[in-house]
Structure 1
Amino acid sequence: MAPHDRLTTAFPHNVQVDRPTPLLHVEDLNVSYGANRVVTDVGFSLGRGKSLALIGESGSGKSTIARTVLRLLPGATRVKGRVSFDGEDILGLSERRFRPLRGRAIGFVPQDPGNALNPVRTIGSQALEAAALADERDPRIARERILETFAQVGLDNPQRVYDSYPHQLSGGMLQRVLIGLAVLPRPLLLVADEPTSALDVTIQKRILDLLSRLQHDLDISLLLITHDLAIAAERADSIVVLKDGSVQEAGSTATVFAAPSSPYAKKLHADVPALNPHRYATLRDPGFRRLGDDGQAPKILVQNLTKTFEVDGNVLTAVNDVSFSVPSGTTHALVGESGSGKTTTIRLLLGLEQPECGEITVAGETITGRTHRSMQSAWRHLQLVYQNPFTSLDPTWTVERLVREPLDRFKIGTPAERAEWVRAALVDVGLGAHLVTRKPQALSGGQRQRVAIARSLVLRPDVIVLDEPTSALDVTVQADIVAVLLELQAKLGLTYVFVSHDLALVRQLAHTVSVMRHGRIVEHGTVSDIFENPREPYTVALLQSIPSGAASPVRARTVRPAVQPVFGQEQIA
């Protein structure tokens, strides 16, 4: 049995006396940043060895609550209420008295491992700091325990990980490192803040399985922060639904997930792609009808593409004999894990890279073999929406300038006509003209992505490439963006190439799918073909990784907590 299949006993388990008092108890919590109150009268309890999920969209207050528990809020923040950990009110403790709890008794797994680890220090040197929290003074023993813990969290070569710098490891490996460092001192409580939001669906499942296994085998309580109701239902015994800093609903997972009572919880349920695969069936129908038009030439034709790179003296084949076609007015999805070749394929499609062999045509125009200058005319009809709206827009420009820039570059229309086209593009994506003078920092994440889509639309292109356009967004905002994209496709006859690792979202949005692995297309077909009758084991594994809302096998072995009415809300015991 592999080390990560069953945890070994390098460290003793937390031995706890079975007491009725919860490990974590939050009562009448109010948090304000200056005059802005972000958490209002929140209360919940988390039992020993149990798991609780705080769910809600950005701005709901869930991360603020987590940072209150960890005492990591900015100094000027005003906090009222009571947060009891193991029977003691930690809000009343001085920093000197609380510091021994942070890391030792209360562990933390942050959202972004790329920002959580020091890029100029090895993993091992940073792990030794976590080992010091376990009061291990002998460097040799500490190193052995670190390597054992790395093996326990599923890192195949712990010594290589120990000696590596963060940039030498994948995102999934870095997240496992962070989990390993968090559990190294064997805390009583583990706070996991969106620990899988940036990961592929298969890696996400492995990380969540790992957290569930650690929680069960080490008797650790888990406070999980997420915006995805399906993940919460799979991984938590109890759920607290937050909106604008207030509790909308709380109770056992079975109750909240199966029959949400608050309007907001019902909306969250409706917005989860995995739970509502046919939500946009009517909007997609015109595209499915176009698939049956065999007499029409495809809008995009990719034939036998191969692209290699030289990495550290070795030749890496990033794209290997890839072929697919996309009929006009339809959406074709490229899916697969990181490193499967999706991004390189779309860079070839956009003319940003040139293949060693193969050919690409868009609307009958050949893309391959052209110079940067000669691609200018093609780019007018072939646009890209980037993955992250927080980094793809110039923060110093107004919305009007951001959307108008493509018109300026191509010298299209008069100034008055450009201004009118900008406003029309904003209307198309559901944004009002009052936003034209705002800068990106004055917009929400969903508004920023709508601006990015408007920017790609203003040239009236035939084809839009969507590179993970909703991965940085909450499910509620994601649902709004998907609706906008499909409405625009139905209205304007746009053709989309959609790159994603979220297969549930692909099922809602796409008409045809190519599954990529190691640079090759291993399976191709319509959405119904791929999702209902997958032939390749790799495709089956991807589909099985989609969160369904059913309890994970590890959590299914535990007893669900009782729910008691406290503080005017259903309180989780």
Structure 2
Amino acid sequence: MAAQDRLTATLTHAEINAPTPLRPLPLLRVDGLSVSYGPHEVVTNVGFELGRGESLALIGESGSGKSTIARAVLRLLPSGGRATGRVAFEGQDVLGMSERGFRPLRGRAIGFVPQDPANSLNPVRTIGAQAQEAAALLDEPGRAIRKRLILETFAEVGLDNPQRVYDSYPHQLSGGMLQRVLIGLAILPRPALLVADEPTSALDVTIQKRILDLLTRLQHDLKISLLLITHDLAIAAERANSLVVLKDGVIQEAGRTAAVFSSPASAYARKLRADVPALNPDRYAALRDVGFRTLKTGDAATPKIEVSAVTKTFTVDGTTLTATSDLSFTVPAGTTHALVGESGSGKTTAVRLLLGLEQPDIGTISVAGEQITGRSPEALRSAWRHLQLVYQNPFTSLDPTWTVEQLVREPLDRFKIGTRRERDARVREALADVGLGEHLLSRKPAALSGGQRQRVAIARSLVLKPDVIVLDEPTSALDVSVQAGIVEVLLTLQASLGLTYVFVSHDLALVRQLAHTVSVMHRGRIVEHGTAADIFDNPQQPYTKSLLASIPSGVADPANPPHARPRLMAAAE
């Protein structure tokens, strides 16, 4: 029978009544899941399926319920949490099981990779001692055999010297290596499901890419299903077969990644997409134009910041380490200069030198024509009034026992600026500048969201009306939506007040949105310098190109899937 004949042939009675092939049972099925703490429901009627060997991403802002759902699946809800509905793993309802009945599944069949490796490992015990505890799940009685399996798994996740890692304490390893350790411990028992809760949010962009490539490769090679929790839609789009978009514990949208990403149906999913820096590099172009006009018209003849041939070394255990070498850059007034690079590139040392918290071995630094180098802290007091810092983590940089009013007001008190009434007015003005209302004045940091805390930190730096603000990873601990609000605040203030920023970040997509000029640092040296357009559109150095290649594009590359890419060993970290 010809092919075209088969299309029109009459079906036989047997063909018509043939049984429909059974749909494969999903590895994980969640139906009508709700989670409450007392009378407060934080997750409402959530449902999704995850097939064997597939990946699904739960995405949304902080408070959307992502991690709560993961903890419900793992039966790790904190005291007071109550989950209802059905969570079926390999057909078994885990919510209805006793803790004793579920315990053999946790760690063995369902693995978990937490967000922060530094807080997930005991700092006073070696990696090997902690790995042996994880290896106990293998039911292998011989310690020597367990150690061999541990070392083999460490090699499998790209740790190039497994024995050294095994013998090390957590503080002796980089963040990327620690995350690989946690992934290795999670896959050691060869689980069917791996739950990864924001596994790369605290990592540099290049290490983030390696970790995500590793998870995708392990998923493919070991046929592991991956439940990925992330706030970054670009990462989710690259790494997951399906997406579930959450807001306030309620599903806003769900489906195959390509459909949700290319044509989001919900307003919230569209907002998340708009807030991803990698997908919207020119979002703040109008606000940045003020600074670009300064560069183009030649108003930058006298720089606001000038760093000239600065070298700084430290001696650790008798060994001299060079933190910065021959560092030079200038920042015109009213513009943003970004220092980018991986951990260990010298960015933080450069900031400490700029603030006068460290003194260089050689070289000079001046801010607004006032030399910073070679002066005592007492002599720098006047300079610090015009040179302020916004730290990376506002939760640790703000005194938890003080109110917002006390925190913002303190710089005015220390410099004895104005009368009490004038100080009160300036506090309220600074809060208004960053979009916060007076109703927050009596609150303490714990009663604020992450975005509100960072706005308070910015208001605190603004209250003295400085000329220069140094921003040290000011949004790395924030969701993309909160981050977008902070960036808009910073650029609006710069455009209206003429502020000069030094922006330190490993998030290159964010740098492209925010910065006018960029210096790329590698091992204490500036390897490339230029305008943001020069660096991002026409990079010259291999190191810069590797950084830019690590930015999540939001589009999977079917011609070069992550599991087929060359293995990147931890030595590169």
* 2:317 matches 1:312: yes
Q: Which residue of 2 aligns with 1:135?
A: 139
**Cα 1:106–1:48, aligned 2, differ >3 Å: closer, same or farther?**
same
Measure the CA separation in 2 of the matches of 1:249 and 1:555: 28
Match 1:528 to one of 533, 547, 557:
533
Measure the CA separation in 1 of the matches of 2:535 and 2:273: 25
TM-score in terms of structure 1 length:
0.93
Q: Which residue of 2 aligns with 1:15?
A: none
CA contact (8 A) 1:216 1:554 kept: no
Give, as a single letter, the amino acid of the residue that structure 1 aligns with 2:219: Q
Give, as a single letter, the amino acid of the residue that structure 2 aligns with 1:223: L
SS in 2 for 1:430: coil
C-alpha root-mean-square deviation of aligned residues, in Å? 1.2
Measure the CA separation in 2 of the matches of 1:555 and 1:131: 34
Measure the CA separation in 2 of the matches of 1:89 and 1:526: 56
Measure the CA separation in 1 of the matches of 2:43 and 2:257: 22
Per-residue deviation at 1:526? 0.1
TM-score in terms of structure 2 length:
0.93
Q: Which residue of 1 aligns with 2:424?
A: 419
Per-residue deviation at 1:216? 0.3
Match 2:182 to one of 178, 181, 197:
178
* 2:273 matches 1:266: no
Match 2:36 to one of 23, 29, 32:
32
* 2:77 matches 1:77: no
Misfit runs of 4+, over 6 Å: none
* 2:61 matches 1:57: yes
Per-residue deviation at 1:324? 0.2
* 2:156 matches 1:145: no
Measure the CA separation in 1 of the matches of 2:494 and 2:108: 53
CA contact (8 A) 2:217 2:562 kept: no
Q: Which residue of 1 aligns with 2:306?
A: 301
Unaligned runs of 5+ in 2: 1-21, 564-573
Give, as a single letter, the amino acid of the residue that structure 2 aligns with 1:276: N
The worse-fitting range, judged by mean Cα deviation, of 114-123 and 47-56 is 114-123
Match 2:355 to one of 350, 355, 361:
350
Measure the CA separation in 2 of the matches of 1:453 and 1:85: 46
Per-residue deviation at 1:555? 8.8
Per-residue deviation at 1:294? 2.9
Per-residue deviation at 1:75? 3.2
Q: Which residue of 2 aligns with 1:240?
A: 244
Per-residue deviation at 1:553? 5.4
Match 1:256 to one of 237, 255, 260:
260
Match 1:230 to one of 212, 234, 241:
234
Match 1:371 to one of 363, 372, 376:
376
Measure the CA separation in 1 of the matches of 2:23 and 2:547: 42
CA contact (8 A) 2:216 2:562 kept: no
Per-residue deviation at 1:130? 1.4
Measure the CA separation in 1 of the matches of 2:371 and 2:562: 57
Measure the CA separation in 2 of the matches of 1:134 and 1:553: 35
CA contact (8 A) 1:470 1:478 kept: yes
**1:324-363: CA deviations, max 9, x gaps?**
0000000000000000000000100000000000001111
Q: Which residue of 2 aligns with 1:399?
A: 404
CA contact (8 A) 1:212 1:554 kept: no
Measure the CA separation in 2 of the matches of 1:299 and 1:121: 48
Q: Which residue of 1 aligns with 2:552?
A: 547
SS in 2 for 1:466: strand
Give, as a single letter, the amino acid of the residue that structure 2 aligns with 1:174: L
* 2:337 matches 1:332: yes
**1:434-487: CA deviations, max 9, x gaps?**
111111111111000000000000000000000000000000000000000000
CA contact (8 A) 1:171 1:199 kept: yes
* 2:451 matches 1:446: yes
Unaligned runs of 5+ in 1: 1-17, 559-573
Percent sequence identity over aligned pairs: 77
Per-residue deviation at 1:79? 1.2
**1:232-285: CA deviations, max 9, x gaps?**
000000000000000000000000111101000000000000000000000000
CA contact (8 A) 2:213 2:562 kept: no
Q: Which residue of 2 aligns with 1:563?
A: none
CA contact (8 A) 2:205 2:506 kept: yes
Give, as a single letter, the amino acid of the residue that structure 1 aligns with 2:222: L
* 2:476 matches 1:507: no
Give, as a single letter, the amino acid of the residue that structure 1 aligns with 2:452: Q
Match 1:204 to one of 205, 208, 221:
208
Measure the CA separation in 2 of the matches of 1:317 and 1:501: 20
Q: Which residue of 1 aligns with 2:18?
A: none
SS in 2 for 1:390: helix
CA contact (8 A) 2:386 2:465 kept: yes
Q: Which residue of 1 aligns with 2:224?
A: 220
Match 1:466 to one of 460, 463, 471:
471
SS in 2 for 1:530: helix
SS in 2 for 1:374: coil
Measure the CA separation in 2 of the matches of 1:410 and 1:369: 22
